[in-house]
Chains A and B, each alone.
Chain A
Amino acid sequence: GAGVSQSPSNKVTEKGKDVELRCDPISGHTALYWYRQSLGQGLEFLIYFQGNSAPDKSGLPSDRFSAERTGGSVSTLTIQRTQQEDSAVYLCASSLNRITNYGYTFGSGTRLTIV
């Protein structure tokens, strides 16, 4: 596609429920990143995928968070047993290759609210 597409754009869910967030990167971009941004805060790295390599999960805050990327394209971020502190905007980005010399293109994000 022309840009990074994320869905849903907004999600409100009850504490304790599981949620899935989707990201469709720019066609041809082999690297995909998930970040989250809490209100008034900077971007917190969560996970990185590059091609068929094992993902870098070093930023995932707990084992309730997981992500997968199917066929080297679409990615899903899953949060199990959601907590109120999970409320944030979840941003997906993609880039052409592993070397982030040219920066990322971000999607419009999913605003997640846990009630």
Chain B
Amino acid sequence: QKEVEQNSGPLSVPEGAIASLNCTYSDRGSQSFFWYRQYSGKSPELIMFIYSNGDKEDGRFTAQLNKASQYVSLLIRDSQPSDSATYLCAVNNMGRRALTFGSGTRLQVQP
């Protein structure tokens, strides 16, 4: 079992819709959770982080964390074609020094 799992996609949504990206993790000791966006041929860029159960909103993005169920999700409202990218989930366990990344979900927003 991978430590951080994501559906590889592609997830295809129409412009203006809500895109829902999901991530599960295996280590119950995980404490910090991150979403990175990676455009094709580019390096990952941080878009959201969350530590506490519940929702965290930043503009069109909402991160949701449920530690009991060991999943974290990212919602993108009013999806735009410019949101088309691979979204990487990353998890930090305080016992480790580096983030563990999932393999990413490719999102396609259709105009």
* Interface positions of A (Cβ within 8 A of B): 31, 33, 35, 41-43, 45, 48, 50, 56, 59, 91, 98-109
Report if B100 contacts A (CB, 8 A). Answer: yes
Q: Is the CB of A103 within 8 A of B90?
A: yes
A32 to chain B, nearest CB (A): 11
A103: contacting residue among B43, B46, B97, CB under 8 A:
B46
CA distance A104 to B46 in the complex (A): 7
A49's closest neighbor in chain B, by CB? B97
The 8 A-B pairs of least Cβ separation, nearest first, read A42-B103, A43-B101, A106-B43, A103-B46, A42-B101, A45-B98, A103-B34, A100-B92
Identify whether the interface residues of A are mostly helix, strand, loop, or mixed.
loop
CA distance A30 to B95 in the complex (A): 18
B8's closest neighbor in chain A, by CB? A40
27 inter-chain pairs at a CB distance below 8 angstroms, sorted by A residue, are: A42-B88, A42-B104, A43-B44, A43-B90, A45-B98, A45-B100, A48-B97, A48-B98, A56-B97, A56-B98, A91-B43, A100-B32, A100-B98, A101-B32, A101-B49, A101-B51, A101-B92, A102-B49, A103-B34, A103-B49, A103-B90, A103-B99, A104-B46, A105-B46, A106-B43, A106-B44, A106-B45
B102's closest neighbor in chain A, by CB? A42
Contacts A42-B103, A100-B92 given; does A108 touch B97 at CB 8 Å: no
